[in-house]
């Protein structure tokens, strides 16, 4: 279990710059912000498009809570781009390529036999400490509303969760 421990460092190429596909994501890039690591098995799988679209619609609301999203799978960035082109459209958050499985393994979400990440969410606080982690069954999609509720609770007194925040973003 990682909750309460420093988040494992990572360094992955992402879709952040669609022109070059060489921009990297590192844990230190998110210092001072909340990070929602959004692990998923693979592009072109049955639950992922609806999740991606829902989380994409919620990006502005997460930003209001000083939080950024980073999608992570073991697919390459070229597969990520093909998937965005074919199914989910441009996303307001980057997709990272964990081709060497290092990040999925470090966060305890790697299915070694299949070579894919599990359907997991990890929330890292602005100081780089894991505050929340959950692995979902492969057929169960995740809810941006639930992740926002958890994030708001982790941010403590003075923060309020309003379900309508996500309704307005949709």
User: Catalytic residue positions?
Assistant: 48
Q: Residue with structure tokens 């929330």?
A: 123
C-alpha dist (Å) from residue 32 to 35, 104, 126: 9, 23, 4
Radius of gyration of the chain (CA): 15
DSSP string, 36-82: EEEE-S-TT-SSHHHHHHHHHHTHHHHHHTTEEEEEEESS-HHHHHH
CA distance 124 to 5: 10
């Amino acid at each position: 279990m990682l909750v309460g421990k420093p988040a494992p460092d990572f360094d992955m190429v992402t879709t952040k710059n669609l022109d070059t596909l060489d921009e990297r994501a590192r844990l230190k890039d998110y210092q001072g912000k909340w990070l929602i690591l959004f692990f998923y098995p693979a592009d072109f799988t049955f639950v992922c498009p609806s999740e991606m679209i829902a989380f994409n619609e919620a990006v502005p609301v997460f930003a209001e809570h000083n939080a950024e999203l980073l999608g992570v799978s073991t697919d390459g960035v070229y597969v990520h781009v093909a998937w965005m082109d074919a199914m989910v459209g441009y996303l307001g958050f980057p997709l990272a390529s964990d081709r060497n499985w290092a990040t999925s393994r470090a966060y305890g979400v790697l299915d070694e036999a299949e070579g894919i990440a599990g359907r997991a969410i990890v929330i890292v606080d602005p100081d780089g400490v894991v505050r929340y982690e959950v692995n979902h069954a492969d057929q169960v999609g995740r809810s941006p509303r639930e992740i926002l509720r958890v994030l708001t609770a982790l941010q403590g007194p003075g923060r309020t969760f309003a379900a309508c925040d996500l309704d307005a973003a949709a």
